[in-house]
Amino acid sequence: MNLVPIGRFSKMTRLSIRALRLYDESGLLRPAHVDPSSGYRYYDLGQANRAEAVRILRSVDMPLDEIVAVLETEDPELVHKQLIVHRERLAERLATQERMLAYLESLIQRKEGIMPYDVQILEETPRLVAATKVRTNLRRIGDDIGAGFGTLMQGLGRAGIAPSGAPLIVYHDVIDEETEGDIEICVPVDRSIPDAAEVYTRELEGGTMASTVHHGPYQEIAPAYHTLTGWVSEHGHELAGPPRETYLNDPQVVLPEDLLTRVDFPIVPQPD
């Protein structure tokens, strides 16, 4: 066996030592030998091909667990299918980024006005919801919301209960690309379900809401928030709780530009 130390293998494969250690821990690219006294890692030159495959797949943002599946699969057809799935994911991400760039350009040039939203005052009654709480940030929020809704619907399925209204999310914290916070994924239900580890039932608070409807992709919803918070401040009202987003149509049925999302801020209204 022709072994080389981790430093040399790193230079050969253009993978950092830190990355090689991570790939060892994840089982993706284990060293051929580890010195029992020093813990130093050594690699066989024959592992360079696997290292190159890992480097390329990571460069196109394939998750580590999927890379393991691709490299451990001996069936070429399964490998092909897994690569197609990731290619479609990248294409969807590119389409989203292109929409965001077009959206950014329209904001900068003010082609559609700064805040084209109508604000209404609504009175919401308390209602029973099944919910699950997720901690996330803006970099992974789409995936986390999808997984959260999956968890929630599985819990409802086990209880034999169907949703009785449109799904919604309560944003308990302000989150950004680096800062994590809690969101609560909810669906209205007609009766309580036995609380489980992740899914529970609670009464969602009612009250007076400052409300507007966003037309378009979820990623372009920020001006709706700007409009509502500005309107609340301008009219002397006080914010009284975390904002909510209610999803009025199904993203699997309508195009992104046709999505409708109601944004509500609970407020303490002040007399005119």
Task: Give dist(CA 184, CA 165) in Å, integer.
Answer: 16
Cβ contacts of 155 within 8 Å, gap of 6 or more? 130, 132, 193, 196, 198, 199
Every domain of the chain and the residues it spans: 3-72, 76-113, 120-268
CATH of segment(s) 3-72: 1.10.1660.10
User: What's the whole-number mean pLDDT along residues 133-153?
Assistant: 90
In terms of average pLDDT, the best of 14-18, 115-119, 196-200, 207-211 is 207-211
Q: Hey, is 27 helix, strand or coil? A: coil
- Which residues, 6+ apart, have CB-to-CB distance to 236 below 8 Å? 270
**Whether 245 contacts 221, CB under 8 Å:** yes
pLDDT at residue 167, as a whole number: 97
Residue 28 has pLDDT above 80, yes or no: yes
Strands, E, within 173-259: which ranges?
Answer: 181-188, 200-204, 207-215, 238-239, 244-247
Write out the two tokens for 77: 């057809």
Strand partners, 207: 124
Share of the chain above pLDDT 70, in %: 93
Rounded Cα gap, residues 152 and 132, in angstroms: 6
Is the pLDDT at 102 greater than 80? The verdict is: no
What pLDDT, in 10s, does the model give residues 36-85? 988 899 998 888 888 988 888 888 888 888 888 888 888 888 888 888 98
Q: What mean pLDDT is predicted for residues 166-195?
A: 90
Phi, psi of 143 (to 5 degrees): -65, -40
- Pairwise pLDDT comparison (40 vs 92), residue with the higher score: 40
Place of tokens 């072994």: 3
When the candidates are 1.10.510.10, 3.20.80.10, 3.40.50.850, 3.20.20.60, the CATH number that belongs to 120-268 is 3.20.80.10
Environment class of residue 99 by beta-carbon count within 10 Å: exposed (0-12), middle (13-18) or buried (19+)? middle
